[in-house]
Amino acid sequence: MAAAKFDTPNMREYPSIPALQPDATAHLKSYLAAPDHNTFLGFPGELVENWQEKAIEKMGDLLGKYRGFRVYMDACVKCGSCTDKCHYFQGTSDPKNMPVARQDLLRSVYRRHFTFAGKYIPWLVGARDLTREVLDEWYSYFHQCSQCRRCSVFCPYGIDTAEVSMAAREIMDSIGYGQKYCNEILGKVQKIGNNLGLPGPALEATLEEFAEEISDETGCDVKIPLDVEGADVLLITPSADFFAEPHIDGLMGYAKVFHAAGISWTLSTYASEAANFSMFIGSYSNMKKVAERIRKAAIDLKVKRIIVGECGHAWRVAYSFWNTLTGVGSGADDPYALQLQKQLDHSYPIPQHICEFTWDLIQQDKLTFDKSQNDHRTVTFHDSCNVARATRMGTEPGGQFDIPRNVIKAVCNNYVDMDPDTIREVTYCCGGGGGLLTDDLMELRVKGALPRMEALKRVIDEDKVNAMAAICAICKAQFSKIMPYYGIPMDTIVSLHQLVKDAIILPGQGEEEAEPAAEASE
Amino acid sequence: MSFLTVLYALLFYTATALFIVGLAYKIRQYATTPAPLKIPTTPAPTTTSGVVLRMAREVVLFESLFKGTKWTWLFGWMFHVSLALVILRHFRYFQEPVWGIITFIQPFGMYAGFFMVLGLLGLWARRIFVERIRYISGPSDHLMLALLVGIGASGLMMKFVKHTDIVSVKAFFLGLMRFDLQPLPADAPLLVHLGLVAALLIIFPFSKLLHAPGVFFSPSRNQVDNPRERRHLAPWAAELDK
């Protein structure tokens, strides 16, 4: 990587609001998408000739299609409540990373073209023409927002910078100015079935290897089934679960839970990806196409239930959007959806989160654990932003906070929470979400992780925490990469179902051998 | 009829018309723009009555702002509640006989004027002295505060320093409502006060004051968290299903 050198921020003894350093991260610019990445998604390959005109036209189109965007452009009173809430602002001190300032990059152009005051007295209301400089500023700073929605919690009107940044990216895509990381991956998932571009045979071999590992360790014949028609459950999980650490241990955890509960399940080659990066770029049509792969897999494999693995934005897309996009849920009436409704078992939530699934089994007393297997750990939990602020688990608001913690406490003896100002509803993003988990934004990722690293460091020092569980593929990948910058061992980040995996006792396990394998798999 | 009376009558007719038409246009625009996806900021209520309660807490107590910054909440809430009392107090100039509740509010409304200006000055101080807020404040943000402080200060002047002929003022407004012009007293504080109020009415639908209707249409606050149980589909999105 040719990325410029940068300093890891110092941890602050007391979280304080940094003094502004204008343009501190103006130099950050993630790679532009190549023409073929763009055209495959239905966008122009390169910046079109009349891009200004087209961008304004697209903005008008979005203002008519999204009430949120429309209201958010008008309603901000510049009260400043959001200004110190963004992890990227805290880590970089760049004032344009204050949520309101980030929104204003777009709002200034909105005002110029769509409001009376902006048209006739632009200087008064901070209205700007869309120049090349403004476009480049958009590109830089709308790729410094992880769409975590923390700012929207504190906004008196609920203005959600995530929506604004999605709109900005959609406008940029529509004029051929898309980002490589997101757009390249969106091509892979639609051509091959997952973000990695891992083809079916390779996936099959990988899964067999994992299944063998579990079987060797437990003496039980545990399978990780692929493309099994007629299985009860279709598991849709992020493809990172197939190759990255600590994600793999989470996948093995799911496999053990399914095995222990005696529920037949399968993965799908065609839909071997829970992630749907279309959300990050605000593309409804691409989001629908990627989600339709899951509906097709569910229908083809004739499953009764759909369960989603540990992935933050994927759970948002699944929980909040699948029903709207493709009728996975209740209430749709097109022929495909009706077929699916008939096939699915409505006594379970559709879709169901893997944590809801495991917690449900624990409550029914269907799983056996040896909690002491996790005694070498003191665990804390990182609420992933999309799960925390854009979804729910269970039937009660806030279930998305309690259910994962309940599962952890059911399999671990030592659990502590981090500072209440950094968890649950007001949790901090890992620093790599929203389509920013790319090496060309390493500086931003390291700096944006500051608030979470500070909170984690405190429980490491005070409570001897040595494991932070997460339920998001991006969080896990981001933390294992950036923790060393802060002097925290990279294996501190664990999958939630890795803790389940280490404690669960499978039926019949240990009956042949006198002593089950006790060491943790690391 | 004096030139001044005619001028202010026209001013108020114009301002009221622009306020009503402009606001109705924006509210219609918000109401007819679809919200294609479920995006409530969670944890969110799972029922409609829960959403009504959430919105009520937001509008009456400024719940989210309270979570965000206590000082801004304190000044902002003080300003808005005082303004509400002051506006209610002013109902007496537009009705005959005066409602009991308005008479009851009168003493509170009078002193609320001070708290209103105090709240505004607090908010203004933050705009000037807090670096982050100064950075995000534009000329229009300062002018808006100046306008509101001007309205408050000129009103307090009349109430506590240099009384105006309030009986005539009331006659003027009752006359306006019946299209029967009555003379307006030519007192400087009164003319400033009324001029600024008319300006506020005119600016309302073209400015950030749209936060008032806007908050009710904010999908992150007004949506029910039930996407798995109920399908949510916008008309333009339904087209894509075909």
Cβ distance of A154 and B38 shorter than 8 Å: no
**Between the CA of residue B143 and those of A213, A488, B73, B215, what are the distances in Å?**
69, 49, 21, 22
Contacts with B36 from chain A: Cβ below 8 Å: 65-66, 284, 324
Cβ distance of B64 and A153 shorter than 8 Å: yes
Name the residue facing A320 among B37, B45, B64 (closest C-beta).
B37
A481 residue type, one letter: K
Q: Measuring CA to CA, which residue among B74, B194, B41 is closest to residue A147?
A: B41
Contacts with B232 from chain A: Cβ below 8 Å: 323-324
Q: Give the number of beta-carbon pairs within 8 Å between A and B.
A: 223
**Could you read off the pLDDT of A241-291 as tens digits, one per residue?**
999 999 999 999 999 999 999 999 999 999 999 999 999 999 999 999 999
CA dihedral B157, B160, B164, B170 (to 10 degrees): 100
Q: What is the DSSP string of A446-496?
A: HHHTHHHHHHHHHHHHHH---EEEES-HHHHHHHHHHGGGGT--GGGEEEH
Rounded to a whole number of angstroms, the distance from the CA of A192 to the nearest CA of chain B is: 23
Name the residue facing A80 among B29, B72, B233 (closest C-beta).
B72
Cβ atoms A304, B202 nearer than 8 A: no
ipTM confidence score: 0.96
3-state secondary structure of A353: strand
Cβ distance of B72 and A81 shorter than 8 Å: yes
The dihedral through the CA atoms of A16, A20, A23, A24 has a sign that is: negative
Computed over every residue of chain A, the mean pLDDT equals 95
Cβ distance of A75 and B214 shorter than 8 Å: yes
**Between the CA of residue B113 and those of B81, B146, B198, what are the distances in Å?**
10, 15, 18
Name the residue facing A67 among B35, B69, B140 (closest C-beta).
B35
CA A299 from chain centre, in angstroms, equals 26
- Kindly report the CATH class assigned to A44-177: mainly alpha
Cα(A394)–Cα(A400) distance, integer angstroms: 7
**Between the CA of residue A168 and those of A111, A261, A390, B87, what are the distances in Å?**
15, 46, 20, 40
* Mean pLDDT (10-residue bins), chain B, 242 residues: 93 98 98 97 97 98 97 98 97 95 93 96 97 97 98 94 93 96 94 97 97 97 96 90 78
Name the pLDDT band for A429 (thresholds 50, 70, 90). very high
Q: Measuring CA to CA, which residue among A522, A476, A501 is closest to residue A258?
A: A501
Q: Measuring CA to CA, which residue among A173, A442, A194, A193 is closest to residue A284?
A: A173
- B17-21, long-range: CB within 8 Å, 24+ apart, which pairs? B18/B201, B18/B202, B18/B205, B19/B201, B19/B202, B19/B204, B19/B205, B21/B205
Average pLDDT for A477-503: 97
Contacts with B233 from chain A: Cβ below 8 Å: 324
DSSP code at position A234 = E
Q: b/e for B212-237, b at 16 or more Cβ within 10 A?
A: ebbbbbbbbbbbbbbbbeebbbbeeb
Cα(A474)–Cα(A384) distance, integer angstroms: 9
A81 residue type, one letter: S
**Closest chain A residue to B65 measured between Cα atoms?**
A156
Contacts with A155 from chain B: Cβ below 8 Å: 64-65, 68
Contacts with A284 from chain B: Cβ below 8 Å: 36-37, 237, 240
3-state secondary structure of A265: strand
Rounded to a whole number of angstroms, the distance from the CA of B66 to the nearest CA of chain A is: 8
Cβ distance of A78 and B219 shorter than 8 Å: no
Q: Which of residues 365-394 of A touch B (CB under 8 A)?
A: 388-392
**Between the CA of residue A384 and those of A218, A366, A432, what are the distances in Å?**
31, 27, 11
Cβ atoms B148, B142 nearer than 8 A: no
Cβ distance of B220 and A395 shorter than 8 Å: no
CA atoms within 13 A on the CB side of A46: 1
Q: Which of residues 40-99 of A touch B (CB under 8 A)?
A: 63-68, 70-72, 74-85, 95, 98
Cβ distance of A83 and B218 shorter than 8 Å: no
Cβ atoms A485, A446 nearer than 8 A: yes
Here the tokens at position B128 are 């000037």
Contacts with A425 from chain B: Cβ below 8 Å: 42-43
Q: Measuring CA to CA, which residue among A1, A47, A33, A22 is closest to residue A280?
A: A33
Q: b/e for A469-478, b at 16 or more Cβ within 10 A?
A: bbbbbbbbbb
- pTM, two decimal places: 0.95
Rounded to a whole number of angstroms, the distance from the CA of A391 to the nearest CA of chain B is: 6
3-state secondary structure of B226: coil
Q: How many of the other CB atoms lie within 10 Å of CB of A133?
A: 10
Name the pLDDT band for A3 (thresholds 50, 70, 90). low
On the question of pLDDT at A520 being above 90, the answer is no
Rounded to a whole number of angstroms, the distance from the CA of B197 to the nearest CA of chain A is: 19
Here the tokens at position A241 are 């679960």
Here the tokens at position A469 are 């569980």
Q: Measuring CA to CA, which residue among A240, A201, A224, A260 is closest to residue A505?
A: A260
Q: Please, what are the domains in chain B? A: 3-228 (1.20.950.20)
**Could you read off the pLDDT of A327-340 as tens digits, one per residue?**
998 888 888 888 89
Cβ atoms A368, A262 nearer than 8 A: no
Bridge partners of A266?
A: A234
On the question of pLDDT at A514 being above 70, the answer is no
Q: Identify the residue whose tokens are 């490589």.
A: A180
**Could you read off the pLDDT of A332-363 as tens digits, one per residue?**
888 888 889 899 999 999 999 999 999 999 99
Contacts with A70 from chain B: Cβ below 8 Å: 29-30, 33
Q: Identify the residue whose tokens are 């006198």.
A: A514
Q: Identify the residue whose tokens are 């869309």.
A: A130
Beta-sheet pairing, A368-369 with A305-308? unpaired
CA B21 from chain centre, in angstroms, equals 16
Name the pLDDT band for A512 (thresholds 50, 70, 90). low
Rounded to a whole number of angstroms, the distance from the CA of A149 to the nearest CA of chain B is: 8
pLDDT at residue A126, as a whole number: 94
DSSP code at position A267 = B
Q: How many of the other CB atoms lie within 10 Å of CB of A341?
A: 17
Query: Crossing angle for the helix pair A132-141 and A99-114, nearest 10 degrees?
Result: 150
Beta-sheet pairing, A493-495 with A504-505? unpaired
Name the pLDDT band for A509 (thresholds 50, 70, 90). confident
Domain layout of chain A by residue ranges: 44-177, 188-505
Cβ distance of A95 and B236 shorter than 8 Å: no
A269 residue type, one letter: T
Cβ atoms A64, B33 nearer than 8 A: yes
Contacts with A288 from chain B: Cβ below 8 Å: 240
B200 residue type, one letter: L
